[in-house]
Amino acid sequence: MDSLTLRRMIDDAETAIRWATDEGSDWAEHEQVRAAVAMYVGQVGEIINHEIPLDEQAANPELFGELGGFRNRIYHHYYRDFRVDVLVATVGDELPGKVVRWKATLATLAAIEATESSRDA
């Protein structure tokens, strides 16, 4: 995993959280807001599914969880399996903690990259 990938995940997750929060506690009742928030949560899952190797996902469930699978339900229109309450819980409960972990991981990666860069200079 690289810093750019993490930054993209953080940006998309924070956008989903912000849009939901800005709309208020009933945000999921508004179809357009719900769709926009779901799209950004789906983007996080897209990044996880296509840019994070499966072995890395499996080794770090605290970083990735079920977001890749959630993306599949959103993007492939598996409406039988798509539950708004799960989206609400994901945005309200899961994503904020993931963002904190991703930012900590990003800081660690930045420190490693800085050390490697100064060593190469």
Tell me the angle at which helices 3-23 and 95-120 cross, rounded to the nearest 10 degrees.
150
Give residue 37's pLDDT. Answer: 95
Cα–Cα dist 111/14, whole Å: 23
Give residue 66's pLDDT. Answer: 82
What phi and psi values does residue 83 have, to the nearest 5 degrees?
Answer: -120, 125
Give residue 121's pLDDT. Answer: 66
Residue 16: exposed, middle, or buried by beta-carbon count in 10 A (0-12, 13-18, 19+)?
Answer: buried
Q: Could you tell me the residue ranges of all domains in the chain?
A: 3-120
Give residue 34's pLDDT. Answer: 92
2, two tokens: 């690289």
Q: E-strand spans in 14-119? A: none
Give residue 13's pLDDT. Answer: 97
Give residue 25's pLDDT. Answer: 93
Entry pTM: 0.86
pLDDT along the chain (121 residues), means of 10: 93 97 94 92 92 92 84 65 83 95 94 83 66
Residue 23: exposed, middle, or buried by beta-carbon count in 10 A (0-12, 13-18, 19+)?
Answer: middle
